[in-house]
Amino acid sequence: MQLDPPGTDALTARSSRVVNARKLQRRRARDKAERFLAEGPQAVREAIGAGVVEDLFYDLDADTRHSDLIDAALSAGAHVHACTDDGLAALAETVTPQGLVAVCRFLDQSLPAEGALVAVLHGITDPGNAGTVLRAADAAGADCVVFATDSVDPYNGKCVRSSAGSLFHLPVVRAADTADALDLFPHAQILAAAADGDDLYALDGAGDLDAPTVWLFGSEAHGLDEATAALAHRKVGVPIWGKAESLNLAVAAGVCLYASAAAQRRKLDWCHVNRLSRIYPARRVRAVALVVHVFPSGLRPSRLPFLDSFRSRQEKDV
């Protein structure tokens, strides 16, 4: 760990360390150095937790507001540097810098052997949308996110910020070709998100979403081209019941990923009887009916603590 020696002047926009770090705002420099910038306390906190921070730059105000993160970076072995306002502004890509910018190593990630839920991005060039899809995939418990053909660099500054730290939580892989990326998941169904696809909720009702799934998402402006959409087993759309013309890509992706995640978790809940006691009250009647149907001889009350109260209510109703 290393803190700039006492008495060292705060780094300015012309300091060599700042100048070199600023080069990472360009993709070519990031790929060459295998380093990227993470801006803001949330991203920096997750980067420190992932153990990938090499340098941390902070302004004098952050020395007070985010002293815990500065201490954590020091404990993790990072080089820590105080900056003037203009020095930090040179590294930050936001209008109002949040006081912290970290230089991080590329994440050493590999694809899961068998992903139950995966998002593949094809031709998504808007870093804000891409980062928000990554954040939604993380929240839904996805196993991996693949940035495939012509998609934005996941290490792009705006993409990193939009992911709100999720970049550091799950495998994020860059793939040159979408078709090759899909071949890596031979045991999963491939669903292409498309406005003219089958109704998402109809598929859910039919039980078609609980299998291992790779969701394929295209750009918000153009969607998926025909050749890429043809790589999927079926096209699926989120129904619009109001008057909106369409859904934002990241919103639609979040809906699709959560629908699959919920279906997969319901399947796990109902396949393992000892987990049924955790079901919320609104689902208990359906859960009991299912269990009694699967095990007609009945179940021990100790396995389903809410079963006796359910039966007593039935008797009262009669």
The pLDDT mean for the chain works out to 84
Tens of pLDDT, residues 289-311: 333 333 333 333 333 333 343 34
277 within 8 A of 302, measured Cβ to Cβ: no
φ/ψ of 237, rounded to 5, equals -125, 150
Q: Which CATH superfamily is domain 117-268 in?
A: SPOUT methyltransferase, trefoil knot domain (3.40.1280.10)
Query: Rg of the Cα trace of the chain?
Result: 24
Q: Which amino acid is at 275?
A: R
pLDDT higher than 50, residue 136: yes
pLDDT at 307: 37
Secondary structure (3-state) at 98: coil
**pLDDT of res. 115:** 82
pLDDT tens digits along 73-84: 999 999 999 999
Give 2-105's CATH code, choosing from 3.40.50.1000, 3.40.50.720, 3.30.1330.30, 3.90.600.10.
3.30.1330.30
Asked whether the beta carbons of 235 and 208 are under 8 A apart, the reply is no
Average pLDDT in the 210-231 region? 93
Question: Residue 211 has which token pair?
Answer: 């299998």
Q: How far apart are CA 303 and CA 41, in angstroms?
A: 45
Domain map (residue ranges) of the chain: 2-105, 117-268, 272-317
Question: Which H, E and C letters describe 287-313, residue by residue?
Answer: HHHHHHHHCCCCCCCCCCCCHHHHHHH
Quick: pLDDT tens for 224-260: 999 999 999 999 999 999 999 888 999 999 999 999 9
pTM exceeds 0.85: no
Residue, of 272 and 11, whose pLDDT is higher: 11
> What pLDDT, on the 0 to 100 scale, is given for residue 8?
62
- With cut-offs at 50, 70 and 90, classify the pLDDT of residue 129: very high
